[in-house]
Structure 1
């Protein structure tokens, strides 16, 4: 993988994404094996048990990013959820049918920044039922990769996250 002429940045991003996915798989479980996110057809995600039109989702506090990034992303996620008719309830709300736990990581240098995100969707019983992951690249670069994460990057993460949630929930 080559990122804007910097092969080292691409390699670091792949390693970071791998570590982030492994960390989420190990640290977010409740001591029980994770539920399979796929049905008998291993290429199709399992449909949610609660009809998507009536399901309520709650985001648990997201880890891995500084408070200003988390605040901005939270606002963007709420806006996208409203725009795509996804019912969100506050973190810890007992009405939530699903809890979404997430992790963010950023890697970059002066040539750009890659924001890696992983979201695990848990049912009310604490079983992981779905995973959403991806990365967004920003041309903003800095020695501190979090300074390279801009509003457009966070908006893209929010849009893709909620769109992926809708696709899973509706079977689209």
Structure 2
């Protein structure tokens, strides 16, 4: 019950936080003021196994797409056992910064996404890149469907989970 309440609260806060504007299209998928980063622990397999992530504001996507994606990322992460925190709830071990772009490619809307997993002191430790196809539209962002968003969230969380559980060879 507590997890469901936390997830509902988290999704609501993500939706509210996505209501930002700026010169570049952004969708703020963070939830509240950030705290000063803790001293970074060395990146180890043990750190990754117990990782708790905070999403930084998303760069490049319009508000509506960012809101849909933040909600889908939260629900997919919960289903797959990846711990995502709002910045005001606990100490994250990693931050995730995301970048999206959408272009018409003749077959539909191609969404390119990149996620950087960062230590609290902003050192990149892993990068996720991918593509998802949406519908054909004169405005590429209008071609981003709920299935496109689901595909991006699923691939993103799967790659985080794989990285998190990958034991480096000695």
Change (3 A) 1:145 1:47: farther
Give the 3-state SS of the residue equivalent to 1:50 in structure 2. Answer: helix
Q: How far apart are 1:124 and its partner, in Å?
A: 1.7
**Contact 1:58–1:93 (8 Å) recurs in 2:** no
Provide TM-score, normalisation by structure 1. 0.67
- Residue in structure 1 matched with residue 117 of structure 2 by the alignment: 121
Change (3 A) 1:47 1:105: farther
- The gaps in structure 1 that reach 5 residues or longer are 1-45
- Map 1:82-101 to 2 at 5 A: 82-91=78-87, 95-101=91-97
Find 1:108's aligned residue among 95, 104, 116: 104
Provide TM-score, normalisation by structure 2. 0.68
Find 1:162's aligned residue among 141, 154, 157: 157
- Residue in structure 2 matched with residue 34 of structure 1 by the alignment: none
Q: How far apart are 1:111 and its partner, in Å?
A: 4.0
- The gaps in structure 2 that reach 5 residues or longer are 1-42
Q: How far apart are 1:91 and its partner, in Å?
A: 4.0
Find 2:63's aligned residue among 49, 64, 67: 67
Q: Report the more deviating stretch, 93-102 or 71-80.
A: 93-102
